[in-house]
Amino acid sequence: MQRRFMAWGALLAMLSVGIGAFGAHLLKPVISEDYLKVYETGVHYHMIHALGLILIGLAAGQWGERSRLRWAGRLLILGIILFSGSLYILSITGIKVLGAITPLGGVCFLAGWLCLALEALSRKN
């Protein structure tokens, strides 16, 4: 579990950099300023939560494989897909109904961080 979440985190962080560069260099002249901000929000949250996955991997190495850590990682991955993914697609296509998916990703982020916090608080030392 430790290696898996650290690898996912590193790969998703790398993808965030690539997606950010794509937006900065290729989308900037094509989409509106408002949609570019939406896109950048997706990249920002994508990177933060990719780093969170690396943190979960490190915690798993310290605390062992725990169900809450597994769920924390899964939820952050799902959050990246739903939150950032919907913002990327919304900003490129302009399909506003995709904005309804974004909060589901946000809930996944919140639940993932809560799982990590609960596991940390359950530690005896």
Count how many Cα atoms sit within 13 Å of the Cα of residue 93 in the half-sphere of its side chain.
11
pLDDT digits (tens, 9 = 90+) for 25-72: 999 889 999 999 999 999 999 999 999 999 999 999 999 999 999 999
Interatomic CA distance for residues 102 and 91, integer angstroms: 12
pTM across the whole model: 0.94
Q: What is the pLDDT of residue 122?
A: 94
- Whether 112 and 48 have beta carbons less than 8 Å apart is answered as no
- Whether 56 and 73 have beta carbons less than 8 Å apart is answered as yes
Centre a 10 Å sphere on the Cβ of residue 111 and count the other Cβ atoms it contains: 17
Residues 98-125: what's their mean pLDDT? 95
Please report, for the chain, the start and end positions of each structural domain, with discontinuous segments joined by +.
2-122
Q: What is the pLDDT of residue 28?
A: 87
Q: Is the pLDDT of residue 78 over 80?
A: yes
Q: What percent of the chain has pLDDT over 90?
A: 93
